[in-house]
């Protein structure tokens, strides 16, 4: 049975539908659409589909430099102001589509079918695009939500362990940020890489409903929504320092462990808070255990390079680093750390202890 709910947005409300076998119905509904699809997924389209733009889901594709050739393809396929864009893929396809749909002829309608668990539990709602420029990750972007989000659970069948785990880390993060009871309910759904479609559906719904609260109260990232950056500032540096060999979701999971270590080092947590965040990071560790290649990557990581990448993150202010950490009884807060030699050393130490912890999971 398919489920749906509506997200309220200043640029128009949109429906989110979750179920199985939804791709065929979408292709029928938007028979004259231009399809922008991850080239890994070419086999899912009927052979007679003509207006297709293939994009390879690598970081280099979601860049300002790669946007122009796609605009030209849209033009060559005859796309006009009323043309519907159907985007099918993970977060990279979503970022590219959000950006291009927003600028092509000053904006065309579009629908999004997320095909990764990360896309389904997190990025498909919220309307954000993030585009890399000349190697700087997510440097530019905008808000341009689709007119509908269609989550077809059949796409989960081909995802590997790393892709499933990355998605679960984002879902865990959202539920944790929302409330202790939401996180407890997430854990009670027994998230794992071998989830049944029904289990996955429950987790996706829980995660999206939790995220809905943040994006409806703070659509443009001014206050509450910033808490969803938990694990991200630490994680982005891990992605960058490994040239994206550690993927986004996995880096976020490890980033939450770094945040826990920073909070402990600075004695920001009560005993209840320590227990609370520990529940999250032991969930992360249990899942990471299935990915020995991550430990290999971390063992050869240069901590000075990591520290430098952290320093370069665009979310920091001139005089302060900005990080989301658990405080007091484990509730997340946006914390400003002075951008001094001491501040830097503390962050570096939190990374060092956290990475050692992750590497030790595999001993
Ligand atoms: N705009 C946002 O709100 C937002 C939020 C979070 C992440 N992101 C961005 O999204 C990107 C990461 O996204 P992601 O992990 O969802 O996906 P992705 O697009 O990076 O894809 C990851 C891999 O999965 C493959 N893939 C996609 N669907 C598949 C399927 N059904 N079966 C098998 N393989 C499949 C892709 O080909 C690719 O190799 C990052 O660039 C991140 O910055 C954006
Ligand atoms: Zn993320």
What's the mean per-residue pLDDT of the chain?
96
Instruction: Give 5-14 pLDDT, tens digit per residue.
Output: 999 999 899 9
Residue whose CA lies nearest to ligand 1 atom number 18: 90
| Residue among 92, 153, 167, 236 whose CB has most ligand 1 atoms within 8 A, to mutate | 92
252 alpha carbon to ligand 2 midpoint, in Å?
7
Residue 1 has pLDDT above 80, yes or no: no
Q: Is 40 in the pocket of ligand 1 (CB under 6 A)?
A: yes
Average pLDDT over residues 344-359: 97
Query: CA-CA distance, 71 to 105, in Å (whole number)?
Result: 10
Q: Is 57 in the pocket of ligand 1 (CB under 6 A)?
A: yes
Residue 137 has pLDDT above 90, yes or no: no
User: Which ligand approaches the C-alpha of residue 174 most closely?
Assistant: 2
Could you tell me what percent of the chain has a pLDDT over 90? 92
319 alpha carbon to ligand 2 midpoint, in Å?
25
Average pLDDT over residues 315-334: 95
Q: Is 116 in the pocket of ligand 1 (CB under 6 A)?
A: yes
Instruction: Give 226-276 pLDDT, tens digit per residue.
Output: 999 999 999 999 999 999 899 999 999 999 999 999 999 999 999 999 999
Residue 307 has pLDDT above 90, yes or no: yes
Neighbours of 84 (CB within 10 A): 19
- Taking the CA of residue 126 as reference, the ligand 1 atom at the shortest distance is 3
Instruction: Give 174-221 pLDDT, tens digit per residue.
Output: 999 999 999 999 999 999 999 999 999 999 999 999 999 999 999 998
Average pLDDT over residues 45-67: 93
Band (pLDDT 50/70/90 cuts) for residue 136 is confident
């Amino acid at each position: 049975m398919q489920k749906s709910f509506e997200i309220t947005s200043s640029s128009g409300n949109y429906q989110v539908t979750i179920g199985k076998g939804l791709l065929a119905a979408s292709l029928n509904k938007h028979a004259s659409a231009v399809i922008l699809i991850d080239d890994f997924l070419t086999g899912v389209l009927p052979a007679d589909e003509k207006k297709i733009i293939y994009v390879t889901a690598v970081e280099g594709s979601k860049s300002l430099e790669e946007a122009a050739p796609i605009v030209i393809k849209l033009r060559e396929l005859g796309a006009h102001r009323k043309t519907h864009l159907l985007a099918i893929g993970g977060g990279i396809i979503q970022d590219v589509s959000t950006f291009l749909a927003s600028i092509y002829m000053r904006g065309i309608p579009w629908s999004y079918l997320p095909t990764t668990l990360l896309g389904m539990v997190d990025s498909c709602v919220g309307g954000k695009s993030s585009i890399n420029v000349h190697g700087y990750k997510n440097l530019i972007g905008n808000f341009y939500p689709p007119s509908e989000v269609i989550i077809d659970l059949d796409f989960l069948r081909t995802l590997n362990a790393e892709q499933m785990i990355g998605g679960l880390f984002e879902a865990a993060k959202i539920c944790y940020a929302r409330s202790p009871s939401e996180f407890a309910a997430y854990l009670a759904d027994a998230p794992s890489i071998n989830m049944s479609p029904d289990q996955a559906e429950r987790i996706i719904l829980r995660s999206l409903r939790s995220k809905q609260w943040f994006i409806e109260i703070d659509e443009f990232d001014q206050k509450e929504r910033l808490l969803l950056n938990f694990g991200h500032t630490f994680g982005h540096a891990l992605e960058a320092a490994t040239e994206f060999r550690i993927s986004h979701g996995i880096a976020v999971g490890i980033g939450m462990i770094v945040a826990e270590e920073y909070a402990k080092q600075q004695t920001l947590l009560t005993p209840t808070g320590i227990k609370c965040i520990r529940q999250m990071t032991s969930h992360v560790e249990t899942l990471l255990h299935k990915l020995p290649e991550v430990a290999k990557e971390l063992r050869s990581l240069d901590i000075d390079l990591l520290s430098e990448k952290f320093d370069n993150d665009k979310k920091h202010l001139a005089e302060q680093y900005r990080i989301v950490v658990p405080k007091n009884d484990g509730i997340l807060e946006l914390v400003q750390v002075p951008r001094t030699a001491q501040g830097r050393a503390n962050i570096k130490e939190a990374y060092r202890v956290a990475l050692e912890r992750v590497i030790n999971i595999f001993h």
